[in-house]
Copies of this chain bind each other. A is one copy, B any other.
Amino acid sequence: MKRSFELAEQDPHTDHAWAQEKLNELRPLLLHWQQERLEKADQALLIVVAGMDGVGKGSAVNTLNTWLDPRHVHTLAFSEPTEEEIMRPAMWRYWNSLPAKGQTGLVFGSWYGALMNELQSKHGDPIKLDRYVRVIKQFEAELAYQGVKILKLWFHSSQQAQAQRCQDLLANPDTAWRVTKKDLKVQKKFKQIRRAAMETITLTHTSHAPWVMVPSADPFTRDLTVAQAVLNAMQKPVQSQEVEAPEYLDWPLAKPPLELRALKQVKSPMSKEHYEKELLHWQARISKAVRGKAFQSHSLIILFEGEDAAGKGGAIKRLTAALDVRDYDVHPIAAPAAYELARPYLWRFWTRLPRHKKIAIFDRSWYGRVLVERVEKLAPVAAWKRSYAEINNFEAQLVANSTLVLKFWLSVSKDEQLRRFQERETSPLKTYKITEEDWRNRGKWNAYRTAAQDMLDHTHTGYAPWHLVASNDKRTARIQILKQVCEVLESLQHAHSDTYLRLTEPEPTQLINEQV
Write the residues of chain A forming the contact surface with B, with a CB cutoff of 8 angstroms: 27-28, 31, 35, 58, 61-62, 65-66, 69-72, 74-75, 77-79, 82-84, 106, 108-109, 173-178, 280-281, 283-284, 287-288, 291, 313, 316-317, 320-321, 324-326, 328-330, 332, 334, 337-339, 363, 428-429, 431-433
Contacts and interface: CB of A to CB of B under 8 A. Distances in A.
Nearest to A430: B31
- Closest 8 pairs (CB-CB, A-B): A77-B326, A71-B332, A28-B428, A174-B280, A174-B284, A177-B287, A75-B325, A62-B321
Contacts of A281: 174
A82 to B, nearest CB: 7
A368 to B, nearest CB: 14
Given A70-B316, A109-B326, 6 more contacts: A28-B428, A58-B325, A70-B332, A83-B84, A174-B284, A337-B339
Contacts of A84: 82-84
A176 B339 CA distance: 45
Nearest to A277: B174
- As for how many copies of this chain the complex holds, the number is 2
Contacts of A338: 338
Nearest to A109: B326
A173 B277 CA distance: 12
9 contacts: A27-B429, A66-B317, A70-B330, A72-B332, A75-B326, A75-B328, A77-B326, A106-B325, A177-B291
A376 to B, nearest CB: 20
A317 B65 contact: yes
A175 B177 CA distance: 63
Contacts of A106: 325
A225 to B, nearest CB: 19
A29 B106 CA distance: 51
Contacts of A339: 337, 339
A486 B64 CA distance: 25
A173 B284 contact: yes
A175 B325 contact: no
Given A317-B65, A317-B66, A284 B177 contact: yes
A31 B329 CA distance: 21
A173 B80 CA distance: 45
Given A316-B70, A317-B66, A332-B71, A77 B284 contact: no
A284 B173 CA distance: 8
B65 A363 contact: no
A90 to B, nearest CB: 19
Contacts of A317: 62, 65-66, 70
